Amino acid sequence: MNDHLLTLSPEPVWRHFRTLCNTPRPSGHEAKLVDILERWADDKGLAHDRDTYGNLRIRRAATPGYEAVPGIVLQGHLDMVTQANSDHPHDFLNDPLDTFVEDGWLHARGTTLGADNGLGVAAALAVLEADDIATGPIEALFTLEEETSLQGALSLDAGWLEGRYLLNLDSEDRGEVYIGCAGGADVVIDADLPMRGCNDDEVMRRVSLTGLVGGHSGADIHKELGNANQLLVRALRQLDEFDIRLVDYQGGTLRNALPREAFATIVINESHLPALEETLDALQTTYRAELAGVDDDVTLTLSPATLSCSDAEALTDTATDLLVAALHAAPYGVERMSAEVPGVVETSNNLGVVSLENGRFHLCALVRSLRDSAAENLADRFTALFGLIGAKTRVENAYPGWAPSAGSALLTRFRRLHQEQVGSDPAVKVIHAGLECGIIGGKYPHLEMISFGPVIRGAHSPTERTEIASVEEFWKVLKALVADIASGKAA
């Protein structure tokens, strides 16, 4: 499968990426890939071990004569976001990805590509086996469950890594190098809401919000893309004039992916159906006007429900009103731009996963900020708001940001090499996303760190793709940086 990847350049990187494409690796299910990489390391004579949590480290010994060179940690995560279009079902636990090339870009048919962070992992593996460069000691650190909880990095053993420099290979733009990132936390809300049966004149219908592009809840949060949960709740709010009641709701699948679709089953008086359809048609027109140029295909539809009023209950009128109002008032999107780093989002929130089933309401939002205090405050606003409807809130998987260091000698070295290899000075950036650097740096404060990578677009969505030419450039700079550190040249 994916044999065409073997024809692309640089061959070592694409060969390893093919292995990743052919090996299912959702978060929490990386064991098969870990086994494959350990067998590969054995075949290459490379040492490998795992820490207490199961994060994998593969080590390349220093080239003879280079033992005193400061060590490098090449770091990436093994798991990938598993998103598929509703018309393209995919078994992410068992089936390989189906990749194809179009106009210089690599895509996957109907699913996420896993270039985030598969290309970084593939590049690290390629460095481990490269026989055309001399290196000091190399450690390739491959973490687990980055996409769902950052738990691999959060659980990383202290005192395990030996290197002085860490190269995080999980960024997504050519000509850029990252020296800082946002921290964040999951806000998880649960409530049991009262229900009652249907009246004789009520019927059930399904309201669907589909057609959104989706994207990364950090890197794309400022692009004003549609959020399916926010838009469907807005529609339900307007439908309140028809005295609807909620039966169930499902929107979004991951807290760190902008939700592309959301679905609600409602109870409504049958006599209101014609007016309800007119309202939804008008709302769709409004949404398409508001989202023109970013989410042109947003679609609102009304269809028969799979349930009937004799089969299920709905929330009470009051519970429906309070839940919809709370969701409608909940923070989402960009909360504040940074005054210190122009053009960078400081604080944001993604209404990632919302569900209602048999009266059990669940919400998982992801708050991010360059300031830990701002993330804590935004999480507390959720606690205050949903406490008004009797919901319980807990904050989980909090992780620190990565404070930028513009005077880093490693950054100076990278900028010089980028100029030599590419012919331009890289843009130095801070990213509004949860790179693992902040967490790892908290455990290993002596590490100097930067993050860079090839061009990836649409990460965390089925439109994910990577520019093939940028992978060649990324590999060229990475190899030059590893060799330059080994050579002992001044930064």
Q: Which residues are catalytic?
A: 79, 146
Give CA–CA dist 56/152, Å, rounded: 10
Note whether 37 and 142 are within 8 A (CB). Answer: yes
Give CA–CA dist 84/440, Å, rounded: 31
Give CA–CA dist 260/241, Å, rounded: 26
**Residue 205, token pair as written in the block:** 């219908």
**Nearest residue to 315 (alpha-carbon basis) of 214, 414, 390, 369:** 390
Give CA–CA dist 63/135, Å, rounded: 6
DSSP state string for 90-143: --TTTPPP-EEEETTEEEESSB---HHHHHHHHHHHHHHH--SS--S-EEEEEE
3-state helix, strand, coil in the chain (%, to 5): 30, 30, 40
**Residue 377, token pair as written in the block:** 């405050």
Give CA–CA dist 52/404, Å, rounded: 29
Give CA–CA dist 230/330, Å, rounded: 9
Question: Which amino acid type is present at position 454?
Answer: P
Give CA–CA dist 189/309, Å, rounded: 28
β-bridge mates for residue 273, sequence order: none
Tokens 């078994």 locate to: 91
DSSP state string for 402-436: B---TT-HHHHHHHHHHHHHHSSPPEEEEESS--T
- Residue-wise burial string across 80-93, b where 16 or more C-beta atoms lie within 10 A, e elsewhere: bbbbbbeeeebebe
**Residue 111, token pair as written in the block:** 């699913």
Note whether 438 and 153 are within 8 A (CB). Answer: no
Note whether 87 and 189 are within 8 A (CB). Answer: no
Alpha helix locations (H) across 141-272?
Answer: 151-154, 228-238
Note whether 21 and 116 are within 8 A (CB). Answer: no
Give CA–CA dist 242/262, Å, rounded: 20
For residue 282, give the H/E element and its range.
helix 273-290
Neighbours of 163 (CB within 10 A): 22
